Amino acid sequence: MEHQPPVGGDLPAPDETPIIIVDSEPSVLSFLEKALEDEGYPVEAFDSAQAALERIASASAALMISDIQMPDMGAMELIRRALEEDPNLAIIVLTGAADAESAIESLRLGVDDYLEKPITVEGLIESVTRALRRRAQADYRHKLELWLRDEVTRRTEEVQRQSQQLELVTVATLSTLVRAMEAKDPYLKGHSERVARLCAKMALHMGFEERDVDDLRTAGLLHDLGMIAIPDSITHKQSALTEDEYRRVQEHVQIGVDILKPLPHLARSVSYIAQHHERLDGSGYPEGLREIPLASQILGLAEHFASLTEVRPHRQAYAAAEALEQLTEQQDTWFEVRAIDALQQVIKNEPGLGESEWFEVTD
């Protein structure tokens, strides 16, 4: 089955990985070789520490059994270098009665066990079994750790992919709703899409990161979602709105935010939407803020410009140049100069964006 944790941790079968034996005494080497081979372990014998180390460096070994007093290398150096080559290598040292201190020191270095000469076959096999089990468990823990790390990475990526898909689906569904809402309204047809395009162009022009440009585009698409709750009798009114009606219209900001709030992946877009009618001089709504993040200003400015250049029930559309002139008069009172400059540049580069070519008012 896919993505199952690795199995292991048991004592490996004796025929897998060789045991390295190291002793300068041929009689000890042959005693060890016979005792281990009788138990089915593959054995490789070395009479020098250097040769044993080279062997450990070149291929994997399960266990090294070494005399602590090798003529060509101090015991501690042999242990240290062997563990450097393979940190998981099991090690048993063979000591004489006079080596008790070195034996204890070797344990400190990470040796599994020490056996005092003369060695018995039973003592040897018992110690080998213990050391190999310890190594198998350490191997298993290592494999498990690698598996876990891979699994966490894989699942995190999966969740991120799903959440990106969810985000795209949600934005697509909501903008379909906005489009449907605007389609039946001769004044608003294509408005949000146009605001979204203006926002994205301005943000790109101002050097925003791709992610921020996307968030602003989404905010543009959904900025007036709350208008869904405002009756046509108000939005289509030919004469000036009463104070009460104006207050109702203002509610579209909070209504939109409330609709979108349960979608955490849209949080940044929602924060821009919450502020798209705020103005730097505090005359905006709903909070009357005087400090407005640039992204929210871009959305507010794009919406305002789009509205000015579209027909409304009580007025004709302004030409792009007129609308820009009006907005330039509002620099630093409604929007920062740099945002207005960006809008001007964007319209200059793409004059089509200054025209609302999507709708026709027939009556």
Residues in touch with Fe ion (CB under 5 A): 224
- Report the residue number, 127 or 307, with the smaller CB distance to Fe ion: 307
Reported as half-sphere exposure (CB side, CA atoms, 13 A), residue 13 has a value of 2
**Mapping DSSP to helix (H, G, I), strand (E, B) and coil, where does residue 109 land?**
helix
- Report the residue number, 83 or 289, with the smaller CB distance to Fe ion: 289
Cβ count within 10 A of residue 248: 16
Reported as half-sphere exposure (CB side, CA atoms, 13 A), residue 289 has a value of 16
Least CB distance to Fe ion at residue 166 (A): 26
- Report the residue number, 93 or 196, with the smaller CB distance to Fe ion: 196
- Shortest Cβ contact with Fe ion: which residue? 224
Least CB distance to Fe ion at residue 154 (A): 42
Least CB distance to Fe ion at residue 265 (A): 22
| Phi and psi at residue 188, to the nearest 5° | -105, 0
- Report the residue number, 66 or 296, with the smaller CB distance to Fe ion: 296
- Report the residue number, 182 or 224, with the smaller CB distance to Fe ion: 224
Strands 63-67 and 90-95: parallel
Least CB distance to Fe ion at residue 279 (A): 13
- DSSP labels, 175-198: HHHHHHHHHT-TTTTTHHHHHHHH
Least CB distance to Fe ion at residue 243 (A): 18
Least CB distance to Fe ion at residue 347 (A): 20
- Report the residue number, 299 or 340, with the smaller CB distance to Fe ion: 299
Least CB distance to Fe ion at residue 303 (A): 6
Least CB distance to Fe ion at residue 252 (A): 6
Cβ count within 10 A of residue 345: 14
Residues linked to residue 73 through DSSP beta bridges, in sequence order: 70
- Report the residue number, 23 or 224, with the smaller CB distance to Fe ion: 224
Among 80, 101, 92, smallest CA distance to 119 is for 92
Tokens of 27: 């009689």
Q: Which amino acid is at 275?
A: Q
Q: Which long-range contacts (CB under 8 A, 24 or more apart) does 166-171 make?
A: 166/265, 167/265, 167/266, 170/263, 170/265, 170/266, 171/218, 171/221, 171/222, 171/266
- Report the residue number, 51 or 230, with the smaller CB distance to Fe ion: 230
Residues 6+ positions from 130 with CB-CB distance below 8 Å:
112, 113
